[in-house]
Chains A and B, each alone.
Chain A
Amino acid sequence: MPFVNKGFHARRPTDGAHKLPPGQYETQDFPVLTAGPTPRIPLVNWEFRLEGLVESPAKWTWNEFNALPMQSFNPDIHCVTKWSKFNTKWRGVSLDTLLEHVQLKPEAKFVMAFSYGGYTTNLPLADLRDGKAFIGLEYEGKPLAPEHGGPARLVVPHLYFWKSAKWVQGLRFMADDEPGFWEDNGYSMHGDPWKEERYRADDEPTLDNARFRL
């Protein structure tokens, strides 16, 4: 019989139109979580790159990037620290739009997102396609604030939000999966909140996961 905490019950009814993944709770705030200081990136120096397993790399300056077709996105987002926020309002460039600018090599299966300040996070390429991911430039009608990842942030709302790399500088396409920053510190290689893939020990067992499964 599953364990029950006697006398415990849900205190926060959630909006019926939205669903919470297991173990998450709804917040109205937008908490900030970062491993180190917030980098400040002058827009004149900013550039965004697609590199790695592509026939020829692509890069954009800030002005070039802002000339790309923009879309609005209103995803629910889920942080591994347990908060979820419903119906967030973004504008940005779909990854599908960016991928039209490069010819991927057939062996490209994974992506390392890399950021100003040195942050990295890994994702399967399939999780970035078909309208599932974008580069966010505006949040709630304003330029994205530095503490939330501005000037530009990768947003992959169907995965835990640490995969949505703040201060994103580019994407490197790879044949094999490699751990990024939090993944190398014990967090899941994939991070699907609906499967509660929080930590490496929650992932399917692999040789590389052995050290996280003592």
Chain B
Amino acid sequence: MSRLDWQLATVTAIRPETPRVKTFVLTLPQWTPHRAGQHYDLRLTAPDGYQAERSYSVASPPEQTGEIELTVELIDEGEVSGYLFDGVAVGDQLEVRGPIGGYFVWPAGATDAPLLLVGGGSGVVPLMAMLRHRQRAGLRNPTALLFSVRTPEEVIYKQELEALAAADPTFKLLITYTRQAPAGWAGYQRRLDAAMLAEAVAQLPGAPQCYVCGPTGLVETAATLLQAQGLPDAAIRTERFGPTGS
């Protein structure tokens, strides 16, 4: 069987991450190690033969063998995310193929180079795979995650990220709340801007490799501001979620 043939995965766990985001743990009959940042395609088939496909980033690291975790955001009117949220239970089967994508992956060169991850909303998912891989592989390159969310309840992986930042002095977690911050919050409370990107870069001892993932507006802004910091285009990898990425 080819690596990219469709296979029937079994849902072994479903974890709510936020009110509109769930993680699906899938056991694969033909698991192959992925690179952090890669995605799988998921296909739903109706009884009349109608099929819908979507791509979802893998959230789990390649060290987690035999299974993948897909973190899915519920999209308004989303025919695939809507079915996954309402129609899928532990024990059900889902058709997937992957892993796919060879550019928005880390590492893509030296594993000791500084790493800057910039995520907006569910754009944090492939970045989480990179952070989990970095931790599981015992890598300690200076790393920062700048994570833009609207409200405190929308911080995907909040506990895990905070625990990682507390345990690993080489990892800095920077959250900005663009709509509503938690009570007593002393950190950022605004959209990404030049000063914020400059401070994120300044957390790192040298020019970082950058990965930016999120909605188009955020990615355009962050990539342009990172260019303005003097980082070369080749050091800025982007992945954009359009508003229709259901």
Contacts and interface: CB of A to CB of B under 8 A. Distances in A.
Nearest to B8: A3
B238 A36 contact: yes
A10 B77 CA distance: 11
Interface in A166-214: 181-182, 184-186, 198-199, 201-202, 212-214
A15 to B, nearest CB: 16
Contacts of B77: 11-12
A202 B238 contact: no
Interface residues of B, number: 50
B175 to A, nearest CB: 24
Most buried by B among A2, A3, A5: A5
* Main DSSP-derived SS at the A contact region: loop
Interface residues of A, number: 44
A8 B78 CA distance: 12
Contact of A29 (B46, B83, B244): B244
Contacts of A4: 45-47
Interface string A109-131: 00000000110000000000000
Contact of A32 (B2, B45, B95, B240): B240
B82 interface: yes
Contacts of B50: 9-10
Contact of B52 (A2, A10, A117): A10
Contact of B4 (A81, A184, A202): A202
B101 A186 contact: yes
A67 interface: no
A213 B2 contact: yes
B79 A12 contact: yes
Interface string A1-24: 011111111111000000000111
B236 to A, nearest CB: 5
Interface of B: 2-4, 8, 32, 41, 43-55, 77, 79, 82-83, 87, 93-95, 100-104, 216, 219-220, 223-224, 226-227, 233-234, 236-238, 240, 242-246
Interface of A: 2-12, 22-25, 27, 29, 31-39, 81-83, 117-118, 147, 181-182, 184-186, 198-199, 201-202, 212-214
Given A31-B244, A34-B240, A214-B2, 20 more contacts: A3-B8, A3-B45, A4-B45, A5-B44, A5-B46, A8-B45, A8-B87, A10-B46, A11-B82, A25-B79, A32-B242, A33-B242, A35-B237, A37-B227, A118-B234, A147-B216, A147-B220, A185-B103, A199-B4, A212-B3
